Amino acid sequence: MNSFESRDARILGVDPGTATTGYGIIERQGARLCPIAYGVIRTPAGMDAPSRLARIHDAICALLDEHRVDTLATERLFFTRNETTAFSVGRTIGVVLLAAARRGIPWREYSPVAVKQAVVGYGGADKKQVQFMIQRILGLERPPSPDDAADALAVAVCHAHTMGSEP
């Protein structure tokens, strides 16, 4: 039996990026999903890479502690053209995972197609469709914004749907 099957869970979804990292925290209450917090962590363009990573790490640590997160999910890194961006985003994922690991918080990653499939029912959905469905699923007054926060909420919803069905 998965440890999440018998209890509610607080989930942090992360859409990693160096300039902007989206986050979305939801709580699974039985079959209901409730929004807790969402937004973005921004780092200035002129800031050196180690300082940017430290700022992202500190912000993720604060979110994990403040909201007593049970589990973390990220979107799987998928780049085919720009390896510099891929390395940069990979480093961001690393500091996010470090924050979770130091707290004993489990982590899962999902492909963009799997996230869209879980939220919209179609792996080729566009951003507007994902935002619309996140608004509906979480009972938000308006579509979540910016895109990075909406994507992070979508990752959290995807994880909530797969918890309990994992091997």
pLDDT in tens, 2-54: 344 445 899 999 999 999 999 999 999 988 999 999 999 999 999 999 999 99
| 3 in any annotated domain | no
| 1 in any annotated domain | no
The residue-averaged pLDDT of 135-145 equals 95
Whole-number Å distance between alpha carbons of 24 and 27: 10
For 98, residues 6+ apart whose C-beta sits below 8 A from its C-beta are 57
Question: Can you give the pLDDT at residue 148?
Answer: 95
Whole-number Å distance between alpha carbons of 58 and 145: 22
pLDDT at 82 > cutoff 70: no
- Domain of 15? 9-162
Question: Can you give the pLDDT at residue 79?
Answer: 60
Residue-averaged pLDDT of the chain: 90
| 4 in any annotated domain | no
| 43 in any annotated domain | yes
Question: Can you give the pLDDT at residue 89?
Answer: 87
Domain count along the chain: 1
Percent of residues in the chain assigned helix, strand, coil, to nearest 5: 45, 20, 35
* pLDDT tier at 102, thresholds 50, 70, 90: very high
**Alpha helices of 9-165 — where are they, by DSSP H?**
49-66, 83-101, 112-120, 127-138, 147-162
Helix and strand numbers, DSSP H then E, in the chain: 5, 5
> Is the bond into 146 cis (omega within 30 degrees of 0)?
yes
| 15 in any annotated domain | yes
pTM of the entire structure? 0.91
% of the chain beyond a pLDDT of 70 = 89
Among all residues, which ones are annotated catalytic?
A: 15, 75, 148
| 167 in any annotated domain | no
Q: What angle do CA 18, 20, 22 make, to 5 degrees?
A: 115
| 70 in any annotated domain | yes
| 97 in any annotated domain | yes
Question: Can you give the pLDDT at residue 31?
Answer: 85
The CATH number linked to 23 is 3.30.420.10
Of 64-73, 74-83, 155-164, the poorest mean pLDDT is in 74-83
> How do beta strands 20-29 and 32-42 pair?
antiparallel
3-state secondary structure of 133: helix
Query: 84 φ, ψ to 5°?
Result: -65, -45
For 38, residues 6+ apart whose C-beta sits below 8 A from its C-beta are 22, 23, 24, 25, 144, 149, 150, 152, 153
Question: Can you give the pLDDT at residue 5?
Answer: 45
